[in-house]
Amino acid sequence: QVVYQVPLKENHVSKRNVDQQLRIKIIYDRSVEDLLPEKRHLIKNKLFPQAVSYLEKTFQVRKSTGTILLSRQCATNQYLRRKADPHRYCRGACADHTRCGPVIVPEKHLQQCRVYNESEWHYGPTGLPDQEGVRDADFVLYVSALTTERCGHENIIAYAAYCQLEAEMDRQVFLDFTGYANLCPNMISTQAQEFVGMLSTVKHEIIHALGFSAGLFAFYRDDDGKPLTTRYADGLPPFNESLGLYQWSNKVVHKAVRLWDVRGGKMLRHTVHLLITPRVVEEARKHFSCPILEGMELENQGGMGTELNHWEKRLLENEAMTGSHTQNRVFSRITLALMEDTGWYKANYSMAEKLDWGRNKGCDFVMKSCKFWIDLKRQKRQLISPYCDTLRSNPLQLTCRQDQRAVAVCNLQKFPKQLPQEYQYFDNLNGVPAEELPYYGGSVEIADYCPFSQEFSWHLSGEFQRSSDCRIVENQPDPTKNYGAEKYGPNSVCLIQKSAFVMEQCRRKLSYPDWGSGCYQVSCSPQGLHVWVKDTAYLCSRSGQVLTVSIQMNGWVHVGNLICPACWDFCDSCPPERDPPAANLTRAAPIDLCSCSSSLVVTLWLLVANLIPLLTGLFLCA
């Protein structure tokens, strides 16, 4: 049960001005205390403190004082309101417990019960008076770790929503001020490689509770505090029974029809919903470089809880407020603009994170189907990025994520049934018969089945081992399986491999079937971008230059070829591109661990002279 227009004491909101940082108070449910110690520590000491710190730095609110008290829920879910009276009166009795989502709200956070008796036409308070409430907070978040029915849905890590809204009727200002977040216990990962993703999920869920929710669109206000959606006499907007939500106006969400290219030269009418508040429109137009864009498209798939409650995945793939976590989540200026357009916050845009997906792609990208974009780029013999058309197969053909920070694979796959005509994009695919083309699309449904290169994870017997994000040290492969001589860490990026790397030792040669890209450390210098393989630096003089790598590591020689990226992709200052100098033709001298050449004998003699054990070197030469 969501409660709207909860009255606050007169001193709670002092004025309309936005002049203080948002203050979030976390209340942990008993279920969090019952978790295993490592999970409890992760939630209470890392995830929520860091998420709250980020959000408090990102948003400001009106100055407020006093306490927050929640209205009690009614035993029958039936209540009345009296004219000029901000309180609501339960029919017969208040409920024994008031819940915020799955959490039972502590008694000390509740207002006094108010009831009406139809037979006596009596209205009034009953039971305990107002309790102490929550002080020094603008928003109260109840956090639980309960195995609920929703946790049984596939891949649900956490979910959140708002509970109650305040009403200051004289100022006509709404502020969403209580919410909940429930983490599904079995999905809480304590592995270091998954921390960034877990933290992003927690931020994502709190932002839903703070205002990014279809159930709150009808309560958004303009900069003057005036409702963007018309209100009835009771102060509430009209209710949409079919959606189960208060109905927003066309000043908030606008329905539009796109002309949508699909296979076979056909064009369909594709209906979308766009959030059209002023700052969102401005930021969306700037991001895509599309001056005629009406607003930012909302998700049209995924069912209740996903649809309309997130940005469209096809257009903002790794934006943190899309409906699924695929890779490298970032909270962009567009999301901060939405929060400011609620009328409740002022956003600090310096806290926004860079979003590369869709940047400067233009109106053809943001207003048409991905088939139109793919065909257009193919005709011009250009890369179809950010989309892809390489069929996911075994062995994998690896590539790089769009931002070159992770190894990726194109998620184009064959489905067991034909996709809806609206999402059939291919007139031809290498190796695929024409009659099977309707079965092919990207694996992420809420991206409108558009295929794109996606970060992935390695699992062993169903257990997570590591991800393909180059920046995470814990993703470093085992030395015995590090065929490409890769290096994961904060200064590493994804580079394309021109050929499969080979590990050689005497007459033995090993290679890995999945190849095409890998993670390597890079550095910037006045000479340009350097790629480091083990302790050897290779200078990239120009984009596309082929680096021939041959290095010794753990008793094996690793041989392969890497393709240089553009220096400007990673460095703030770069020299003009040029051909590599004759003295550095990126060809490495071969290393032969199985022949005792004179140079190696000299090296061994010098090492002996310095009393360094040489058994390993001697065995390699035997």
Residue stretches of the annotated binding site: 204, 208, 310
295 token code pair:
């607003």
What's CA 268's distance to the chain center, in Å? 30
Half-sphere exposure of 616 (CA within 13 A, CB side): 7
Q: Which of 416, 419, 410, 407 is nearest to 445 (CA)?
A: 419
Residue numbers belonging to the annotated binding site for Zn(2+): 204, 208, 310
Phi, psi of 512 (to 5 degrees): -105, 135
* 3-class DSSP assignment, residue 361: coil
Alpha carbon separation from 121 to 117, 118, 504 (Å, rounded): 5, 5, 91
Whether residue 205 lies in the annotated active site: yes
- Read off the DSSP letter of residue 577: P
402 Ramachandran zone, left/alpha/beta (phi>0; psi -120 to 50): alpha
Neighbours of 538 (CB within 10 A): 21
**H-run or E-run covering 124:** strand 122-126
- Single out the catalytic residue among 168, 194, 205, 504: 205
Extract the runs of DSSP E, i.e. beta strands, from 276-381: 296-297, 346-347
Q: Are strands 173-183 and 158-168 parallel, antiparallel or unpaired?
A: antiparallel
Alpha carbon separation from 283 to 44, 102, 273, 275 (Å, rounded): 34, 36, 17, 12
Are the C-beta atoms of residues 285 and 439 closer than 8 Å to each other?
Answer: no
Cα–Cα dist 566/621, whole Å: 41
What's CA 366's distance to the chain center, in Å? 19
Cα–Cα dist 231/189, whole Å: 44
365 token code pair:
């990208």
Indicate the burial class of 346 (C-beta count within 10 angstroms; 0-12, 13-18, 19 or more): middle
Among all residues, which ones are annotated catalytic?
A: 205
